């Protein structure tokens, strides 16, 4: 699904999401990644949506986002209650959704100059 027709400014943006992966600008990513308005971090060590742990999220939360978007692939996978509480304790807003929804939301929030971070599992990712 194409998300943008043109480059919307000087920040990181998601161009499309498909079974092939996540296209950011002209690059295609097929492994889990972290997006910020300024960068793409490709070494996010999460094996799958059900395997997101506090240790895995610490590196994301250390970026101090105002809002954290978690894209869990093709299907929405909710976080364990204790993991959600650990995010709340850091006073960070967060949403868990499918990856395509997280990418659309990321693009909107970045265009509003919000301090957003997206932790994304590509829809076709199989560890």
Q: What is the pLDDT of residue 4?
A: 47
DSSP string, 41-107: E-------GGG--HHHHHHHHTT--SEEEEE-SSS--PPPHHHHHHHHHTT-EEEEE-HHHHHHHHH
Q: In terms of CATH architecture, what is 14-120?
A: 3-Layer(aba) Sandwich (3.40)
pLDDT tens string 8-30: 567 889 999 999 999 998 899 99
Task: Classify 103 as helix, strand or coil.
Answer: helix
pLDDT tens string 80-113: 999 999 999 999 999 999 999 999 999 999 999 9
Q: What is the pLDDT of residue 43?
A: 87
Q: Residue ranges per domain, the chain? A: 14-120
Q: Is the whole model's pTM more than 0.75, yes or no?
A: yes
């Amino acid at each position: 699904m194409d998300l943008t027709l043109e480059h919307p400014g000087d920040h990181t943006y998601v161009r499309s999401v498909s079974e092939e992966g996540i296209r950011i600008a002209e690059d295609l990513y097929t492994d889990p990644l972290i997006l910020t308005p300024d960068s793409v971090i490709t070494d996010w060590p999460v094996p799958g949506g059900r395997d997101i742990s506090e240790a895995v999220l610490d590196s994301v939360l250390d970026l101090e986002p105002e809002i954290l978007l978690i894209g869990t692939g093709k299907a929405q996978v909710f976080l364990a209650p204790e993991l959600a509480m650990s995010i709340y304790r850091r006073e960070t807003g967060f949403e868990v959704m499918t990856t395509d929804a997280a990418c659309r939301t990321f693009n909107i929030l970045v265009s509003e100059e919000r301090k957003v971070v997206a932790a994304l599992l590509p829809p076709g990712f199989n560890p």
